[in-house]
Structure 1
């Protein structure tokens, strides 16, 4: 046990991103000693608190309705472009910020299947996040489509050969998660895209558990459509708006179904009939959540300064350290690792499994240790690289070990 604690101290001392931890807001009376749920909700930045106050006092109170013509109208596109550049590997005018992940999933998936009316099959996997599955079930009911389910191992994730076995000329769309929400499995996006495209199908990816943690190359990988949230590794705050990506080559052929004034080619004309805007703005519908976008300015500044490759390097060190702690401290109590050990296939979190883990949640929280829990028996350990140190991970898992001993 001592060697692993000493290793945490050495890793923290050598951490090139250690300075960023002090940029996160942690009040003096903060009762959390180990926050291991950055893959569900990121911590707030000190800069975010200042930006929110400045926005309310100066932009909102000072400019009032004039704020829209000052800059707010362009925030969904400007912030989308910046997010695409900093974290998604996407050229300009392909990413927008706005709506929730669920709404954007519906918009893009519905647009995709509408664009190929002769293709009646949609491929998805059984262990994808519930929203993805539920949205596609609803679209299938609306459109009379066949859902083709790939059974994926909850301790792993989608494999290219599984996709190749079912995709064909009847397939309109394939939808998977880049990082599996349960296991942390990192999918081979480029290869799965190639398989889908060879069959003439479109590919769509859920980036919720990878954006801001894992390098993403949407343009280079040939992704057609993607969605993701901003409140996990992007520290946008509870309920922060999501983002959508639509490849430029598809923007003239795909038409999202929720037609609103903000996506019109001339929003303030307010004339008869809907005419979609050119480019990514056509993905917008109603008035965008400007207040909810304010935190993204601060986090994108931080992520740009740190660099996504450096973030990924630390993430791999953190999750590797979690695996070592699990093997030495927790395995003797029957705890299993329910996710990939191979760093090439591991996202930003590690899932630990043991029957009865749910009963430990309240004692862990009472002790100031906050992991995530996914039924039936998985604890997700998600250390966010910019806000989490190795000593913090050690404190959290040592507390878990003590509770297991009891």
Structure 2
């Protein structure tokens, strides 16, 4: 049984704040500050460039990848870290498409994060493919024999709607297509099982529910059946079979190592490695049960006491990730008023109040305080002050 009281103690949670925005940026793990400081003092400062060998910086992307693998239903040696999520999306989709020559269609849905769609649109234009976008509920019916790649974010970033990974993957395979799953709002939030779903490729970021810090590196997974055949368009020095031979021609490294591109961000990866300590002993079934408990309590509380908002997430917890969103005509101002009162969620255009529930550190007291504060703000209309309507650069 997972001890969530213990995992909560692993994070620095500022006094007086209720933090429900871990689906955008996780809080700082207490261990990260000391670990990064030690790395800089003992490794970078003293070892200089020899740290690539002596401190293990060069193999860090695989070692950290192995720690994430357990949280997404993957095996050892199947996940590698590095670069940004958009780069990993590009690699995964381009590799999957190349494995289905003669097929032109990349299928996604309108609930996907726009960056994924931008990447796929650019790729499609460059290689003569077609990006086809349908409503989330229309994805299954849009899968046909023209399809090369199904590119889906498992949990919708606005609504929290969760796709059925296993069913959609099976449907894509029946049509002869491959799947790429974006786990940005899944990894560390729900019980992901890539192997059990028989998925083909997956990517994800680590600064949300995995708490790696702002700009933390992304990860990529390739099913072992594709690992030595995948040929992403974007190929870099670190993905070469012998990078220090300095060959002018590219020879891909075996397995997942070929999905490395640039020099790994060692300081950021050190912070992420420290963050992953909080996951030791956490069972994914317990994580999912806790997530459902928190989101169900929040929905019930808001609907009972908060006038003027409408649920924007699936009511059935089986169809929902670990976030809940509500709509309000003045959602941005309402969220700014909430933040001013010490309850931090975020806003997504055009009118969505979004709340992420991270089982490792959120509890029912957080839920109750958020409900009570939101109810008061809506009741007395304290959100309707000029400064709450002023849009900041990041919402």
TM class by smaller structure: over 0.9
2:69 alignment partner in structure 1: 84
Q: In the alignment, what sits opposite 1:259?
A: 235
Query: 100, 114, 129: which is aligned to 2:113?
Result: 129
The residue aligned with 1:11 is none
Contact 1:228–1:243 (8 Å) recurs in 2: yes
Query: Secondary structure of 2:106's match?
Result: strand
Structure 1 stretch 307-316 or stretch 205-214: which is displaced more? 307-316
Question: In the superposition, relative to structure 1, how do residues 252 and 389 fare at CA in structure 2: closer, same or farther (>3 Å)?
Answer: same
Contact 1:326 1:337 (C-alpha < 8 Å) held by counterparts: no
Give the gaps of 5 or more residues in structure 2: 381-395
Residues 105-142 of structure 1: per-residue CA shift (max 9 Å, x gap): 01111122123231011111112110111111111111
Matched, 1:41 2:25: yes
CA deviations on 1:361-380 (whole Å, 9 max, x unpaired) are 32222211211111111111
Question: Deviations 1:198-243 (Å, cap 9, x if unpaired)?
Answer: 1110011110001011111111211101110001110000010010
1:186-201 matches, cutoff 5 A:
186-201=162-177
Q: Provide the aligned C-alpha RMSD in A.
A: 1.6
Instruction: Kindly tell me the number of residue pairs found equivalent between the two proteins.
Output: 379
- Given the superposition, is the C-alpha separation of residues 198 and 271 from structure 1 closer, same or farther in structure 2, using an over 3 Å criterion? same
Query: 1:204 is paired with a residue of what secondary structure?
Result: strand
Offset at 1:168?
A: 2.0
Match of 2:364 among 387, 390, 404: 390
Paired with 2:184 and 2:377, the residues of 1 have a C-alpha distance of 31
Inter-CA distance 59–150: structure 2 relative to 1 (3 Å threshold): same
Cα deviation per residue 1:245-268 (whole Å; 9 max; x = unaligned)? 111111222211222211111111
Aligned to 2:96: 112
Q: Structure 1: how far apart are the matches of 2:168 and 2:132?
A: 16
Gaps of 5+ in 1: 1-13, 153-158
Choose from 239, 251, 254 the match for 1:278.
254
Structure 2 residue aligned with 1:358:
332
Structure 1 segments (4+ residues) deviating >4 Å: none
Report if aligned partners of 1:34, 1:368 keep a CA contact under 8 Å in 2: yes
Q: CA offset at residue 394 of structure 1?
A: 1.5
Relative to structure 1, the CA distance from residue 164 to residue 127 in structure 2 (aligned partners, 3 Å threshold; closer, same or farther) is: closer
Is the Cα contact below 8 Å between 1:349 and 1:383 reproduced in 2?
yes
Match of 1:73 among 34, 42, 58: 58
Q: Deviations over 1:12-37 (max 9, x none)?
A: xx9941222222114xxx46521111
C-alpha change, 1:355 and 1:17, in structure 2 (3 Å) is same
Q: How many angstroms apart in 1 are the aligned matches of 2:133 and 2:162?
A: 19
Task: Name the structure, 1 or 2, with higher relative contact order (CA <8 Å, separation 6+).
Answer: 1
